[in-house]
Amino acid sequence: MKNVCFKNHACSNEYRLYIFSVFVVIFLAQELNAQVLWYGDPNLSVNDNFRRLDPNGNSNPTGDRCVDDPNNPPFVTKPTDPVYGKFWRITKPISRKRAEFARTTGDINSFVPQKAGTYYYGWRWRINATPNLADGGIAVFQWKTDEGGDINTNKQNYPFNMEYDGSVLHLNAFGPAEPNWNRPGSITQRRTTLWQQAIQEDTWVTFVIKVKVEDTYDGNNNRYDGYIEFWFNGEQQTLSNIDFDEYQVVLANSNTRAYHKTFDGIEVYPKWGAYNENACDFEVITDFDDMRVASTYAEALPSNPNGGNPNGLEGIYKIKHSVTSKYWTVDNTNSNIITADEMTPDSATQIFEVKSVGTTGYYNISCADPNWDAVRFHTTNVYPTTTSTPTTDTNNTRIFEILSNGSGAYDIHTPQTTTGRYAYDNSGDVNYTGSASANTKWILEDINSLGSEDFDKSSIFVSNPVDNQILINGLDDKVNKIEVFNIMGKSILVQDVKKASSMRIDANTLTNGLYLVKFYGKTSIFTIKFIKR
């Protein structure tokens, strides 16, 4: 063998160069392995991010099939959410069967899933329908087949999808049919429901789907090589076969993985929005935020409301009910937490600190009142205790998830108890109930926030995507510092502004992926996302 180096023997320069090149390739491959592959940026146009908005239903409807009203097409807007910022909104009017984003192949942000690849698709979602959906669900996500002009390559039409019926969201898988998917009755016969969850309309939730894209069959294990895993609101879900007929997936990894045929036709691609005959009689509004495809779960998971701060929602707050506008208040006489009108701004009985307990998204709530510390949900009541915070992350009645519903309000609940415990205002007493409702929504008022010192966020522009430089325009003299974080919340670089109106920041040291740039004023913070490519 030529040019092989052994101990105490010389190597040729060519071989050294070869070894170095291999090392560099491996190193770069590892650096690029964990990255965002596609991001649906609402600061860009629909066609910059997606192949198209699919507006049409039946091209040649017959019988009672939905007839698209040509004078009332679906449309896309980009409102601003008080918690999450700018997001995508698809409005499907009545008398239209479909309104969906199709394919992640835009003019700027583009990605095509490849056979044998493994990807994580993440997004934040909510839905509103008028009138309320009933009598069958509508598809709100499809993993769609491209048959390439030959219907007999199309065995599934959509290997899996998500459907919503006005109260319950379903994740479904569909087995293959012969000679093609359009065999009479095959859709319901081939369907198995992997997961279902009651979800209220007008409530933000998050999803991550891990998909191994494959159609080969493993005869030794009697299963397809493709598979699906699924996370809902940041927690991996247990999957099953519900209401199946002819087809079942094969479950593994403690039922968190469903082996399934996930590649069909000549290509597969995602679609987000609202679709099918049931949708025709409704106006359906679907909202999407933080849409991304990534090579890891961490980078696919939609960022938290504070724009990726590693401390999450940690902070000092007053907790106000979204309907009654009454504040959590420590009642020292009765060792209780009640609701009351706002007292003085610095009253310790109405100030609470949200503290991380180590597990992502889990918190203690600590009383500022010196007589107490950890808040507890127990025996239907919410009350202060002297237990020190932070507690262990398994102290289930003192551990909380604080979930945004997208309107600036939050549900405060105990994720580790065997039954749901959601704080609500019970006529002046803070108690808990078994499920979320309009009465369980609370507003976290940051006591450090000041409106008078806020800088003008609307004028700030950040180039996206970024190649070698981050171009920033529209700064005012109240912005004093800029900081860039990766998606895991790690600070990458800090830059003083010094009253500049525009800046160029070197991005050559950044690996490819999604980042957040934070703008700091005297008391306020503003975050914008960008992709380094």
Q: Which of 139-153, 438-452, 465-479 has the highest mean pLDDT?
A: 139-153
Percentage of the residues of the chain whose pLDDT score is greater than 90: 48
Q: Which of 22-31, 73-82, 224-233, 385-394 has the highest mean pLDDT?
A: 224-233
Residue 2's pLDDT band, with cuts at 50, 70 and 90, is very low
What pLDDT sits at residue 61? Answer: 55
What pLDDT sits at residue 365? Answer: 96
Residue 368, token pair as written in the block:
């500022």
What pLDDT sits at residue 448? Answer: 52
Strand partners for 224 = 217
Say whether pLDDT at 213 is over 60.
Answer: yes
Residue 326, token pair as written in the block:
């009454």
What pLDDT sits at residue 202? Answer: 87
Contact 281, 85 (CB under 8 A): no
Say whether pLDDT at 136 is over 80.
Answer: no
Residue 290, token pair as written in the block:
């933080």
Cβ atoms within 10 Å of 20's Cβ, excluding its own = 10
Residue 203, token pair as written in the block:
């409530």
What pLDDT sits at residue 518? Answer: 80
The pLDDT tens digits for 496-533 are 887 888 899 999 888 888 787 888 776 556 777 788 88
Cβ atoms within 10 Å of 349's Cβ, excluding its own = 22
The pLDDT tens digits for 304-358 are 544 434 345 777 889 999 889 999 999 999 999 999 999 876 688 999 988 888 7
Contact 172, 140 (CB under 8 A): no
Q: Which residue has the higher pLDDT, 90 or 445?
A: 90
What pLDDT sits at residue 29? Answer: 36
Residues 6+ apart with CB under 8 A from 476: 455, 456, 459, 501
Give the mean pLDDT of 455-470.
Answer: 82
Structure-token match 């099939």, residue found: 65
Strand partners for 339 = 328
Say whether pLDDT at 62 is over 60.
Answer: no
Say whether pLDDT at 473 is over 60.
Answer: yes
Say whether pLDDT at 7 is over 60.
Answer: no
Say whether pLDDT at 25 is over 60.
Answer: no
Residue 17's pLDDT band, with cuts at 50, 70 and 90, is very low
**b/e per residue 443-464 (b: at least 16 CB within 10 A):** bbeebeeeeeeebebeebebeb
Q: Which residue has the higher pLDDT, 65 or 176?
A: 176
Say whether pLDDT at 302 is over 90.
Answer: no
105-109, 222-226, 305-309: least confidently modelled range: 305-309
Give the whole-angstrom CA distance, residue 347 versus residue 193: 52
Domains and CATH numbers, the chain: 34-300 (2.60.120.200), 315-446 (2.80.10.50), 461-532 (2.60.40.3080)
What pLDDT sits at residue 444? Answer: 87
Structure-token match 């549900």, residue found: 411
Strand partners for 83 = none
7-21, 28-42, 115-129, 342-356: least confidently modelled range: 7-21
The pLDDT tens digits for 229-244 are 999 988 889 999 998 9
What pLDDT sits at residue 308? Answer: 38
Structure-token match 């009642």, residue found: 331
What's the whole-number average pLDDT of the chain? 84
